C-alpha cells in the first residue's frame, strides 16, 4: 500500500498572496509529467536553435563560417579559372591547326568541341571540335582546291627568302614565344596590309577581339596571319603575290590599344619571330 501511494503521489505548485493568503495560481503535476515536460522543452529549444542557425543570417556570426562576400569571391575565382582554362585550350587548338596546315596532315574537324573537356589534343583527334577562332581548316578540302601544286619544287630556307613588310609602321610590341608569339605593328587606321610572300589565302574570318583575320599559305611550310583588319581585299582560295594588298588596318576599340596590325609568322608548324626576317 505504501508503494502504491508513493507512485500515485501528486504535487501542487501554488502562488499565494502573502498578506491575504489568497491562492492566485495553482497547478498539479506528477513526477513523470515533470520529466516529460522538461525533455520536450529541451527538444523544442534545440529545434529552434537549429532553425536559427540554418535558415537565418545568424549563422554568419559563427567564427569560421564563410561570409556572403567570401562565397561570392570564391564563385568569381572559379569563373576566372574556367575562363583561363578555355583560353589555354583555344591556343592549343589554334597551334595544332596551324601545325597540321603546314605539315599537310589530316585536319581536325571543328564542328562540336565541348569547351569543358580537358582531354589532350592527341586524345581528341577523332572528336568534332567547335571553336570560333579555330576554323582554319574547315573550308579547306585539299591543296588542289587552292591551286597549290603538289609537284616537287625547289624550296629555299626561310632565311633565304625576301619578305615584304606587311604594313608600314612601327613595332609596338615584339615577339615572345611563350606569351606573345606575334608582333604588333602600329599603323594608322586604313593603312594597306600586304602579303609578305607569294601564296594562297587559306582562311578568312571574323572575331570580336581581333576583327577580320586572314591566313596565307606560302611555300616552304610557311604561314602568315594578319589580324585586326577592318576590311579584307581577298577571299579563300585567291592566289596572292608578295606585296599584294590584302586588307586594311582597323581602328582601335575598347578591346585593342591603338591602331595596329597583329602579324604572325609560322614556319614548320611553330611560331617564328618576324623581326628576324622582315625589316619593319
Q: Could you tell me the residue range of the domain that residue 10 belongs to?
A: 2-57
CB distance 263 to 148 below 8 Å:
no
Three-class DSSP labels, 56-111: CHHHHHCCCCCCHHHHHHHHHHHHHHHHHHHHHHHHHHHHHHHHHHHHCCCCCCCC
Please report, for the domain that includes residue 172, its CATH number.
Answer: 2.70.70.10
Kindly tell me the sign of the dihedral angle through the C-alpha atoms of 30, 34, 37, 39.
Answer: negative
- The verdict on 100 and 182 lying in the same domain is no
Q: How far apart are CA 277 and CA 280, in angstroms?
A: 10
What kind and span of H or E run contains 172? Answer: strand 170-173
- The verdict on 98 and 173 lying in the same domain is no
- The verdict on 167 and 272 lying in the same domain is yes
**Is 261 contained in some domain?**
yes
Residue 144: the pLDDT is 45
**Is 83 contained in some domain?**
yes
- The verdict on 15 and 112 lying in the same domain is no
pTM above 0.75, yes or no: no
Contacts of residue 18, Cβ cutoff 8 Å, sequence gap at least 6: none
- The verdict on 173 and 225 lying in the same domain is yes
Phi, psi angles (nearest 5°) of residue 183: -125, 145
CB atoms within 10 A of CB 200: 20
The burial of 181, by beta-carbon neighbours within 10 Å (0-12 exposed, 13-18 middle, 19 or more buried), is given as: middle
Phi, psi angles (nearest 5°) of residue 208: -60, -35
- The verdict on 172 and 271 lying in the same domain is yes
CB distance 216 to 198 below 8 Å:
no
**Is 242 contained in some domain?**
yes
Lookup result for grid cell 596565307: 216
**Is 227 contained in some domain?**
yes
| Residue among 161, 171, 164 nearest 196 (CA) | 164
pLDDT by 10-residue block (mean), the chain, 280 residues: 56 82 81 86 91 78 70 79 81 79 68 46 49 53 47 64 90 89 91 94 90 93 93 93 92 67 92 89
Enumerate long-range contacts of 148-151, CB under 8 Å, 24 or more apart: 148/200, 148/217
Amino acid at each position: 500500500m505504501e508503494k502504491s501511494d508513493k507512485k500515485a503521489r501528486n504535487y501542487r505548485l501554488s502562488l499565494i498572496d502573502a498578506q491575504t493568503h489568497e491562492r492566485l495560481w495553482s497547478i498539479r503535476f506528477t513526477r513523470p509529467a515533470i520529466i516529460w515536460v522538461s525533455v520536450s522543452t529541451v527538444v523544442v529549444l534545440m529545434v529552434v536553435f537549429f532553425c536559427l542557425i540554418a535558415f537565418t543570417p545568424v549563422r554568419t556570426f559563427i567564427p569560421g563560417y564563410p561570409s556572403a562576400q567570401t562565397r561570392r569571391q570564391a564563385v568569381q575565382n572559379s569563373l576566372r579559372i574556367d575562363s583561363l582554362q578555355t583560353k589555354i585550350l583555344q591556343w592549343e587548338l589554334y597551334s595544332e591547326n596551324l601545325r597540321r596546315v603546314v605539315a599537310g596532315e589530316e585536319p581536325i574537324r571543328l564542328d562540336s568541341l565541348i569547351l569543358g573537356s580537358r582531354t589532350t589534343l592527341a586524345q581528341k583527334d577523332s572528336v568534332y571540335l567547335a571553336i570560333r577562332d579555330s576554323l582554319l581548316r574547315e573550308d579547306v578540302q585539299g591543296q588542289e582546291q587552292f591551286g597549290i601544286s603538289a609537284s616537287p619544287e625547289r624550296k629555299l630556307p626561310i632565311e633565304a627568302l625576301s619578305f615584304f613588310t606587311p604594313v608600314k609602321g612601327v613595332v609596338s610590341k615584339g615577339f615572345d614565344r611563350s606569351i606573345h608569339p606575334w608582333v604588333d605593328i602600329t599603323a594608322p587606321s586604313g593603312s594597306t596590309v600586304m602579303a609578305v610572300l607569294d601564296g594562297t589565302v587559306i582562311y578568312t574570318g571574323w572575331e570580336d577581339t581581333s576583327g577580320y583575320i586572314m591566313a596565307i599559305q606560302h611555300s616552304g611550310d610557311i604561314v602568315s596571319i594578319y589580324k585586326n583588319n577592318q576590311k579584307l581585299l581577298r577571299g579563300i582560295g585567291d592566289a596572292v603575290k608578295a606585296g599584294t594588298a590584302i586588307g586594311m588596318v582597323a581602328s582601335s576599340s575598347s578591346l585593342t590599344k591603338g591602331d595596329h596590325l597583329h602579324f604572325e609568322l609560322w614556319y614548320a608548324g611553330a611560331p617564328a619571330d618576324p623581326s628576324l626576317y622582315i625589316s619593319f
